[in-house]
Amino acid sequence: MTRWVAPAAYLLGIGWYIAICILLGVFAGHWIDDTTGLKPTFTLIGIVLGLLVAVVGGARMVLRVTKRFGNDGPWKE
């Protein structure tokens, strides 16, 4: 039963990483927009950069998890 705990913990960490990247991009863009007065510009740039960092970093993390747990996953019988 506990064979699924370690992969689940890694995947949960990846989810948090993706969420934090996107939120930091949104908040940084919104802060820069408030500072400069260019309302939607930097928020949109922050969203795009946050998504880009999240996708690249998340994909690298998922590849690392699949290499580590590979074919020994809990779904194998």
Q: Is the pLDDT of residue 66 over 80?
A: yes
| Domain boundaries defined on the chain | 22-68
The per-residue pLDDT for range 30-59, each reduced to its tens digit, is 999 999 999 999 999 999 999 999 999 999
Q: For the whole model, what pTM was predicted?
A: 0.84
The per-residue pLDDT for 1 is 52
Q: Is the pLDDT of residue 76 over 70?
A: no
As a three-state string, the secondary structure of 24-64 is: HHHHHHHHHHHHHCCHHHHHHHHHHHHHHHHHHHHHHHHHH
70: left (phi over 0), alpha (psi -120 to 50) or beta: left
Tokens of 27: 């908040």
- pLDDT category at 74 given cuts 50, 70, 90 is low
**Angle formed by the axes of helices 5-36 and 39-69, nearest 10°:** 160
Provide the CB-side half-sphere exposure for 75 (13 A, CA).
Answer: 5
